[in-house]
Protein backbone atom coordinates (compact mmCIF):
# COMPACT_ATOMS: atom_id res chain seq x y z
CA UNK A 1 0.00 0.00 0.00
CA UNK A 2 1.95 3.00 -1.32
CA UNK A 3 0.95 6.66 -1.47
CA UNK A 4 2.00 9.15 -4.14
CA UNK A 5 3.04 12.59 -2.89
CA UNK A 6 3.30 15.49 -5.33
CA UNK A 7 5.57 18.22 -4.03
CA UNK A 8 7.34 21.43 -5.01
CA UNK A 9 11.00 22.43 -4.82
CA UNK A 10 12.43 21.11 -1.57
CA UNK A 11 14.59 24.12 -0.77
CA UNK A 12 11.65 26.53 -0.68
CA UNK A 13 8.32 24.70 -0.40
CA UNK A 14 7.41 24.68 3.29
CA UNK A 15 4.06 22.98 2.69
CA UNK A 16 5.76 20.23 0.70
CA UNK A 17 8.16 19.70 3.60
CA UNK A 18 5.18 19.19 5.88
CA UNK A 19 3.60 16.62 3.59
CA UNK A 20 6.85 14.70 3.08
CA UNK A 21 7.63 14.51 6.80
CA UNK A 22 4.15 13.15 7.54
CA UNK A 23 4.98 10.10 5.47
CA UNK A 24 8.74 9.74 5.86
CA UNK A 25 8.97 10.23 9.62
CA UNK A 26 6.24 7.71 10.39
CA UNK A 27 7.42 4.98 7.98
CA UNK A 28 4.41 5.18 5.69
CA UNK A 29 5.36 3.89 2.20
CA UNK A 30 5.21 6.55 -0.53
CA UNK A 31 6.77 7.83 -3.73
CA UNK A 32 7.61 11.50 -4.29
CA UNK A 33 6.92 13.39 -7.53
CA UNK A 34 8.28 16.89 -8.16
CA UNK A 35 5.98 19.47 -9.78
CA UNK A 36 7.12 22.71 -11.42
CA UNK A 37 6.72 25.17 -8.58
CA UNK A 38 9.47 27.50 -9.89
CA UNK A 39 9.65 26.40 -13.51
CA UNK A 40 6.35 28.02 -14.49
CA UNK A 41 4.52 24.71 -15.09
CA UNK A 42 2.75 24.34 -11.74
CA UNK A 43 -0.73 25.18 -13.03
CA UNK A 44 -0.46 22.60 -15.81
CA UNK A 45 1.17 20.07 -13.49
CA UNK A 46 -1.70 20.45 -11.00
CA UNK A 47 -4.43 20.14 -13.64
CA UNK A 48 -4.90 16.38 -13.03
CA UNK A 49 -5.44 17.13 -9.33
CA UNK A 50 -8.10 19.86 -9.64
CA UNK A 51 -9.35 21.64 -7.62
CA UNK A 52 -5.92 21.63 -5.92
CA UNK A 53 -4.09 24.94 -6.45
CA UNK A 54 -0.89 24.26 -4.54
CA UNK A 55 1.43 21.51 -3.43
CA UNK A 56 1.52 19.09 -1.77
CA UNK A 57 -1.10 16.73 -3.13
CA UNK A 58 -1.46 13.22 -1.75
CA UNK A 59 -2.84 10.38 -3.84
CA UNK A 60 -3.97 7.51 -1.62
CA UNK A 61 -3.54 3.86 -2.59
CA UNK A 62 -7.24 3.87 -3.55
CA UNK A 63 -6.71 6.85 -5.83
CA UNK A 64 -8.28 9.54 -3.62
CA UNK A 65 -6.75 13.02 -3.95
CA UNK A 66 -6.07 15.02 -0.76
CA UNK A 67 -4.78 18.54 -1.35
CA UNK A 68 -4.33 20.36 1.96
CA UNK A 69 -1.69 19.58 4.57
CA UNK A 70 -4.16 19.51 7.46
CA UNK A 71 -6.44 17.20 5.46
CA UNK A 72 -3.44 15.03 4.55
CA UNK A 73 -2.47 14.83 8.23
CA UNK A 74 -5.91 13.69 9.36
CA UNK A 75 -6.26 11.27 6.44
CA UNK A 76 -2.98 9.58 7.32
CA UNK A 77 -3.72 9.52 11.05
CA UNK A 78 -7.07 7.86 10.37
CA UNK A 79 -5.59 5.32 7.96
CA UNK A 80 -2.57 4.54 10.18
CA UNK A 81 -3.77 4.73 13.79
CA UNK A 82 -0.76 2.79 15.12
CA UNK A 83 1.88 4.92 13.37
CA UNK A 84 1.99 7.49 16.19
CA UNK A 85 1.19 10.57 14.13
CA UNK A 86 -0.74 12.10 17.03
CA UNK A 87 0.14 11.71 20.74
CA UNK A 88 -1.59 8.74 22.33
CA UNK A 89 -2.64 10.64 25.47
CA UNK A 90 -6.00 12.38 24.82
CA UNK A 91 -4.99 15.66 26.50
CA UNK A 92 -1.74 15.88 24.54
CA UNK A 93 -3.49 14.80 21.36
CA UNK A 94 -6.06 17.57 21.70
CA UNK A 95 -3.37 20.13 22.44
CA UNK A 96 -1.28 18.93 19.48
CA UNK A 97 -4.26 19.30 17.16
CA UNK A 98 -4.85 22.79 18.51
CA UNK A 99 -1.25 23.84 17.85
CA UNK A 100 -1.37 22.37 14.36
CA UNK A 101 -4.57 24.27 13.60
CA UNK A 102 -3.04 27.51 14.87
CA UNK A 103 0.03 26.99 12.67
CA UNK A 104 -2.09 26.05 9.68
CA UNK A 105 -4.25 29.18 9.83
CA UNK A 106 -2.03 31.83 11.39
CA UNK A 107 1.42 33.41 11.56
CA UNK A 108 0.91 35.51 8.44
CA UNK A 109 3.83 37.86 9.18
CA UNK A 110 6.23 34.94 9.60
CA UNK A 111 5.06 33.39 6.33
CA UNK A 112 5.10 36.68 4.40
CA UNK A 113 8.38 38.17 5.58
CA UNK A 114 10.38 34.95 5.97
CA UNK A 115 9.88 32.61 3.01
CA UNK A 116 11.49 29.25 3.62
CA UNK A 117 15.01 28.90 2.26
CA UNK A 118 17.15 25.92 3.23
CA UNK A 119 20.25 26.88 1.24
CA UNK A 120 21.74 29.56 3.47
CA UNK A 121 21.01 31.92 6.36
CA UNK A 122 20.72 35.71 6.36
CA UNK A 123 22.66 38.04 8.64
CA UNK A 124 21.00 41.06 10.34
CA UNK A 125 17.51 40.44 8.98
CA UNK A 126 15.17 43.23 10.11
CA UNK A 127 12.33 41.95 12.30
CA UNK A 128 9.07 43.89 11.97
CA UNK A 129 6.63 44.58 14.78
CA UNK A 130 4.14 42.07 13.34
CA UNK A 131 6.85 39.44 13.08
CA UNK A 132 7.81 40.02 16.71
CA UNK A 133 4.14 39.44 17.60
CA UNK A 134 4.12 36.15 15.69
CA UNK A 135 7.29 35.02 17.46
CA UNK A 136 5.82 35.90 20.85
CA UNK A 137 2.71 33.82 20.18
CA UNK A 138 4.85 31.01 18.82
CA UNK A 139 6.75 30.93 22.11
CA UNK A 140 3.43 30.88 24.00
CA UNK A 141 2.30 27.80 22.07
CA UNK A 142 5.60 25.98 22.38
CA UNK A 143 5.88 26.73 26.10
CA UNK A 144 2.38 25.35 26.58
CA UNK A 145 3.39 22.14 24.83
CA UNK A 146 6.69 21.78 26.66
CA UNK A 147 4.97 22.29 30.02
CA UNK A 148 2.44 19.60 29.14
CA UNK A 149 5.13 17.16 28.02
CA UNK A 150 7.55 17.85 30.88
CA UNK A 151 10.05 19.86 28.79
CA UNK A 152 10.94 16.96 26.53
CA UNK A 153 12.81 17.45 23.24
CA UNK A 154 9.74 17.37 21.00
CA UNK A 155 6.57 19.33 21.67
CA UNK A 156 4.51 16.51 23.13
CA UNK A 157 7.14 13.93 23.98
CA UNK A 158 7.59 11.70 20.96
CA UNK A 159 7.85 13.26 17.49
CA UNK A 160 4.33 13.91 16.21
CA UNK A 161 2.38 15.83 13.59
CA UNK A 162 2.72 18.90 15.80
CA UNK A 163 6.48 18.82 15.17
CA UNK A 164 5.92 18.18 11.46
CA UNK A 165 3.84 21.33 11.14
CA UNK A 166 6.42 23.43 12.98
CA UNK A 167 9.43 22.07 11.07
CA UNK A 168 9.20 24.84 8.42
CA UNK A 169 8.92 27.38 11.24
CA UNK A 170 12.13 26.04 12.74
CA UNK A 171 13.75 26.40 9.32
CA UNK A 172 12.63 30.03 9.11
CA UNK A 173 13.94 30.86 12.57
CA UNK A 174 17.28 29.30 11.64
CA UNK A 175 17.49 30.93 8.21
CA UNK A 176 16.66 34.47 9.36
CA UNK A 177 18.30 34.14 12.79
CA UNK A 178 15.08 35.24 14.44
CA UNK A 179 15.20 36.14 18.14
CA UNK A 180 13.73 33.35 20.28
CA UNK A 181 14.29 32.02 23.78
CA UNK A 182 16.97 29.46 24.60
CA UNK A 183 14.39 26.68 24.92
CA UNK A 184 12.84 27.59 21.57
CA UNK A 185 16.28 27.69 19.94
CA UNK A 186 17.05 24.25 21.31
CA UNK A 187 13.83 23.02 19.73
CA UNK A 188 14.84 24.64 16.42
CA UNK A 189 18.24 22.96 16.60
CA UNK A 190 16.51 19.64 17.23
CA UNK A 191 14.71 20.04 13.91
CA UNK A 192 17.89 20.99 12.04
CA UNK A 193 19.58 17.83 13.34
CA UNK A 194 16.59 15.57 12.61
CA UNK A 195 17.69 12.96 10.07
CA UNK A 196 14.60 13.27 7.89
CA UNK A 197 14.88 17.07 7.81
CA UNK A 198 18.55 16.78 6.86
CA UNK A 199 17.73 14.36 4.06
CA UNK A 200 15.03 16.67 2.69
CA UNK A 201 17.44 19.61 2.71
CA UNK A 202 20.23 17.60 1.08
CA UNK A 203 17.96 16.48 -1.74
CA UNK A 204 16.82 20.06 -2.28
CA UNK A 205 20.37 21.34 -2.59
CA UNK A 206 21.07 19.02 -5.50
CA UNK A 207 19.21 21.62 -7.59
CA UNK A 208 20.67 25.07 -8.30
CA UNK A 209 18.79 28.28 -9.13
CA UNK A 210 19.70 31.28 -11.23
CA UNK A 211 18.25 33.69 -10.31
CA UNK A 212 17.89 32.55 -6.72
CA UNK A 213 14.32 32.92 -5.38
CA UNK A 214 13.70 35.03 -2.30
CA UNK A 215 16.98 36.91 -2.25
CA UNK A 216 17.20 39.28 0.72
CA UNK A 217 18.99 42.62 1.17
CA UNK A 218 21.15 40.95 3.82
CA UNK A 219 24.52 39.24 3.97
CA UNK A 220 24.34 35.55 3.13
CA UNK A 221 25.94 33.24 5.71
CA UNK A 222 26.25 29.44 5.89
CA UNK A 223 23.31 27.31 6.96
CA UNK A 224 23.38 26.91 10.77
CA UNK A 225 22.60 23.18 10.94
CA UNK A 226 24.94 20.40 12.06
CA UNK A 227 28.42 20.39 10.56
CA UNK A 228 28.71 18.15 7.54
CA UNK A 229 31.48 15.85 6.37
CA UNK A 230 33.52 17.53 3.62
CA UNK A 231 33.14 15.79 0.27
CA UNK A 232 33.90 16.57 -3.38
CA UNK A 233 32.92 15.19 -6.77
CA UNK A 234 35.58 12.79 -8.01
CA UNK A 235 36.52 10.35 -10.74
CA UNK A 236 36.30 6.60 -10.32
CA UNK A 237 37.09 3.88 -9.68
CA UNK A 238 35.51 3.61 -6.25
CA UNK A 239 36.02 1.16 -3.44
CA UNK A 240 32.37 0.05 -3.71
CA UNK A 241 30.96 -1.52 -6.87
CA UNK A 242 27.26 -0.96 -6.12
CA UNK A 243 25.30 2.09 -4.98
CA UNK A 244 24.61 2.12 -1.22
CA UNK A 245 21.02 3.18 -1.92
CA UNK A 246 19.85 1.15 -4.92
CA UNK A 247 22.36 -1.68 -5.15
CA UNK A 248 22.89 -0.84 -8.84
CA UNK A 249 26.27 -0.54 -10.51
CA UNK A 250 28.11 2.75 -9.82
CA UNK A 251 28.57 5.47 -12.43
CA UNK A 252 29.14 8.67 -10.40
CA UNK A 253 31.69 9.31 -7.68
CA UNK A 254 32.69 11.49 -4.74
CA UNK A 255 35.77 11.70 -2.55
CA UNK A 256 35.87 11.89 1.25
CA UNK A 257 39.10 11.76 3.28
CA UNK A 258 41.01 10.44 0.29
CA UNK A 259 38.53 7.63 -0.31
CA UNK A 260 36.33 7.42 -3.42
CA UNK A 261 32.74 6.19 -3.23
CA UNK A 262 30.44 5.36 -6.12
CA UNK A 263 26.72 5.90 -6.77
CA UNK A 264 24.29 4.81 -9.46
CA UNK A 265 23.35 8.32 -10.66
CA UNK A 266 24.19 12.00 -10.10
CA UNK A 267 21.26 12.50 -7.72
CA UNK A 268 22.44 9.76 -5.33
CA UNK A 269 25.95 11.23 -5.46
CA UNK A 270 24.88 14.84 -5.01
CA UNK A 271 22.47 14.30 -2.11
CA UNK A 272 25.34 12.52 -0.34
CA UNK A 273 27.77 15.28 -1.30
CA UNK A 274 25.60 17.88 0.48
CA UNK A 275 25.32 15.99 3.78
CA UNK A 276 26.91 12.53 3.94
CA UNK A 277 25.95 11.99 7.59
CA UNK A 278 22.24 12.35 6.79
CA UNK A 279 22.19 8.98 5.00
CA UNK A 280 22.50 5.79 7.10
CA UNK A 281 23.02 3.65 3.99
CA UNK A 282 26.05 5.69 3.02
CA UNK A 283 27.41 6.01 6.55
CA UNK A 284 27.33 2.22 6.88
CA UNK A 285 29.60 2.07 3.84
CA UNK A 286 31.75 4.98 5.02
CA UNK A 287 32.30 3.44 8.46
CA UNK A 288 33.55 0.22 6.90
CA UNK A 289 37.33 0.14 6.68
CA UNK A 290 38.71 0.23 3.17
CA UNK A 291 39.73 -3.22 2.03
CATH code, 156:
1.20.1050.10
| pLDDT tens profile 148-159 | 988 788 999 999
Stretch 57-61: mean pLDDT: 98
* One domain for residues 165 and 188: yes
Q: Is the entire prediction scored with pTM above 0.85?
A: yes
H or E, element range at 275: none
3-state helix, strand, coil in the chain (%, to 5): 45, 15, 40
* One domain for residues 253 and 171: no
pLDDT beyond 70 at 169:
yes
| Arithmetic mean of pLDDT over the chain | 96
Q: What residue spans of 87-221 are helical by DSSP H?
A: 90-105, 108-113, 129-149, 161-176, 182-193, 195-204
Stretch 5-33: mean pLDDT: 98
Considering only 3-12, 33-42, 111-120, 141-150, which range has the smallest mean pLDDT? 33-42
* One domain for residues 109 and 176: yes
pLDDT beyond 60 at 33:
yes
- 170: which strand partners? none
* One domain for residues 191 and 242: no
Distance CA 233, CA 201 (A): 19
Query: Quick check: 161 and 94 in contact, CB under 8 A?
Result: no
In a domain, 181, yes or no: yes
Predicted local distance difference test score (pLDDT) of residue 28: 98
Predicted local distance difference test score (pLDDT) of residue 152: 80
* One domain for residues 170 and 114: yes
3-class DSSP state of 256: strand
* One domain for residues 67 and 111: no
Predicted local distance difference test score (pLDDT) of residue 289: 65
| pLDDT tens profile 231-249 | 999 999 999 999 999 999 9
In a domain, 11, yes or no: yes
Q: What is the DSSP letter of 207?
A: S
Quote the number of domains for the chain.
3
In a domain, 227, yes or no: no
* One domain for residues 59 and 99: no
Q: Of the candidates 184, 199, 214, which is a domain's last residue?
A: 199
Query: Quick check: 26 and 196 in contact, CB under 8 A?
Result: no
* One domain for residues 246 and 266: yes
pLDDT beyond 70 at 291:
no
The contacts of residue 104 (CB under 8 Å, 6+ apart) are: 69, 70, 165
Q: Of the candidates 44, 79, 114, which is a domain's last residue?
A: 79
3-class DSSP state of 1: coil
Query: Quick check: 254 and 233 in contact, CB under 8 A?
Result: yes
Say which CATH number the domain at 53 has: 3.40.30.10
* One domain for residues 97 and 170: yes
Stretch 69-82: mean pLDDT: 98
Domain that holds residue 138: 90-199
Confidence of residue 1 (pLDDT cuts 50, 70, 90): confident
In a domain, 206, yes or no: no
44 alpha-carbon distance from chain centroid: 25
* One domain for residues 116 and 177: yes
Q: Of the candidates 79, 110, 131, which is a domain's last residue?
A: 79
Confidence of residue 290 (pLDDT cuts 50, 70, 90): low
* One domain for residues 94 and 194: yes
Q: What is the DSSP letter of 276?
A: G
Predicted local distance difference test score (pLDDT) of residue 42: 92
In a domain, 215, yes or no: no
* One domain for residues 186 and 268: no
In a domain, 128, yes or no: yes
pLDDT beyond 70 at 166:
yes
Stretch 166-176: mean pLDDT: 98
Taking Cα atoms as reference points, which of 56, 90, 88, 89 lies closest to residue 73?
Answer: 56
Distance CA 198, CA 265 (A): 20
Amino acid sequence: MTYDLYIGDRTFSSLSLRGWLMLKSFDIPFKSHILGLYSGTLEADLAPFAPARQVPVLKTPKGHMIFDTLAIAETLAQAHPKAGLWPEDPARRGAARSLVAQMHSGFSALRTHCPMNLQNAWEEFEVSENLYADLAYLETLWNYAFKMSGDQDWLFGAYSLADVFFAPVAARIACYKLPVSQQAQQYVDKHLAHQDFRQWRAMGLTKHYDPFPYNMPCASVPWPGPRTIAAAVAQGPSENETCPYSGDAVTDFLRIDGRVFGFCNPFCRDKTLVDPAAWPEFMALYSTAKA
